[in-house]
Every structure is written in structure tokens, then in C-alpha cells.
């Protein structure tokens, strides 16, 4: 059974088991999907409201976009698990002869590259999610803006978690140019979008804080 087809409670208990699948990568993708799904909720709570008629078209576009991103993130839960299998198998390959060592090195390199690209894809999608949540926080239903802030926090957390899964793998890749390209992109995404997510959160938190002088 695909991981995404499991009951939520089953997935969570399996996450806490001795099995390495699902692991941090799958959890990151799930958290990212939850974050952007909250953006979809904000859009749905805005669409059809007369007081937000000027934002109707934008909200409909944002709704479609959030659904696409959350679907792609959910798909990455299984892709992350699928990428781990060959890598785990590579670690178990024999190294008794020169030919076996060379074969293991080739398989390890290819498996590590694939295992680094999946969490990088998660980071790209989390960046899209944060961009969508920024727009929803500006134009969405004011009664649901705390959900946009929650979505931003979750998206940023998912991105940070995915980043760890990127660098764990790139650190062991022999192809320095490949590893550098992946690391550079991931680091740039992390630097820009976690800050943008914090700004969404801070703005909404500030708007709802009670005046202590009252």
C-alpha cells in the first residue's frame, strides 16, 4: 500500500517505528502539504463572500494553485520512500573485490543524487506554498488569516526539515559540482523563503495581539 493511502494514525505510528520508511523526508512533505492546504482553506472561506468580491478571481486562482502544490507534496511522500530503498540497498552491497567496490560506488552515487533531489523538490514546493500564503494573507478573509499564518509556519518548517535531508545526502556525493548546485539552490530557497514565511506570521500575530495598555 502506498504511504499516502494509509490512515493518518497508521502513518504516524509507522513513522515512530523502527522502520526507516517513512522518515524525515516523508514527514516534511506531509507537513508542507498541511501548510499549503491551510492556504486552500483561506481561499475557500473567501470565495463567494460579497465583501471580498474584488478578490474573487484571485482567490479562485490561488485555490487551484494550493491544491496543485499540496497534491505534489503528498506525492513526494512516496517518492521519498522510493528513493531511500535503492540507497539502503547500496549500503548493503558487497565490497570484497575491486569490481564489487566499484559497482557499489556507482550505485551509491546514483542513489545519493536521487535521494537529494526529492527533498530539494519539496523545498521548491514549500517556496511556492509560502508565495501563495503571502497573497492569501493580504487578500483573504480576515477571519481566517490566522490559518494563513499557521500555513506559513508549517511550510517553513517543512522546508527546513527537507533541507536537512538534502545536505545529509549531498555530503556523501563524490560529484562535487552536482552537490554544489543542489546545495546552492537549497540554501538560497531556505534563506529567502523562511524569512518570507516569518514575515507573514509576524504581521498576522501583530495584528491580533491584545493591547496590554487596555
Please report the pLDDT score of residue 16 as a whole number. Answer: 87
Phi and psi (nearest 5°) for 210? -75, 140
SS3 96: coil
pLDDT 10s digits, 134-174: 999 999 999 999 999 999 999 999 999 999 999 999 999 99
C-beta separation of 84 from 173 below 8 A: no
Look-up: residue for cell 498576522?
204
State the DSSP H helix or E strand holding residue 143, giving kind and residue range, or none if neither.
Answer: none
Reference 116, options 153, 79, 91; nearest CA is: 79
Residues 3-26 as b/e (b if ≥16 CB within 10 A, e otherwise) read bbeeeeeebeeebeeeeebbebbb
Q: Angle at the Cα of 104 (from 98 to 110), degrees rounded to 5?
A: 140
pLDDT band at 2 (very low <50, low <70, confident <90, very high): low
pLDDT digits (tens, 9 = 90+) for 31-86: 999 999 999 999 999 999 999 999 999 999 999 999 999 999 999 999 998 888 88
Give the number of residues written for the chain.
Answer: 214
Domains of the chain and any CATH numbers: 22-207 (1.20.120.680)
pLDDT the model gives residue 98:
86
pLDDT of 214 higher than 80: no
Measured in whole angstroms, how far is the alpha carbon of residue 80 from the centre of its chain?
A: 11
3-state helix, strand, coil in the chain (%, to 5): 85, 0, 15
Amino acid at each position: 500500500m502506498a504511504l499516502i493511502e494509509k490512515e493518518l494514525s497508521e502513518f504516524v505510528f509507522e513513522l515512530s517505528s523502527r522502520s526507516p520508511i517513512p522518515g524525515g523526508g516523508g514527514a516534511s512533505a506531509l507537513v508542507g502539504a498541511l501548510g499549503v492546504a491551510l492556504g486552500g482553506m483561506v481561499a475557500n472561506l473567501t470565495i463567494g463572500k460579497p465583501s471580498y468580491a474584488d478578490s474573487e478571481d484571485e482567490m479562485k486562482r490561488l485555490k487551484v494553485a494550493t491544491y496543485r502544490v499540496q497534491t505534489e507534496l503528498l506525492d513526494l511522500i512516496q517518492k521519498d520512500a522510493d528513493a531511500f530503498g535503492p540507497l539502503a540497498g547500496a549500503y548493503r552491497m558487497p565490497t570484497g573485490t575491486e569490481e564489487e567496490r566499484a559497482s557499489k560506488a556507482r550505485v551509491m552515487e546514483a542513489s545519493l543524487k536521487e535521494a537529494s533531489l526529492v527533498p530539494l523538490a519539496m523545498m521548491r514546493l514549500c517556496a511556492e506554498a509560502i508565495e501563495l500564503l503571502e497573497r492569501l494573507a493580504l487578500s483573504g478573509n480576515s477571519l481566517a488569516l490566522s490559518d494563513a499564518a499557521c500555513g506559513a509556519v508549517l511550510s517553513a518548517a517543512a522546508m527546513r526539515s527537507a533541507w536537512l535531508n538534502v545536505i545529509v545526502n549531498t555530503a556523501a556525493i563524490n560529484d562535487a559540482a552536482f552537490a554544489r548546485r543542489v546545495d546552492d539552490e537549497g540554501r538560497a530557497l531556505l534563506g529567502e523563503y523562511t524569512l518570507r514565511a516569518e514575515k507573514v506570521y509576524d504581521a498576522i500575530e501583530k495584528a491580533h495581539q491584545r493591547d496590554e495598555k487596555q
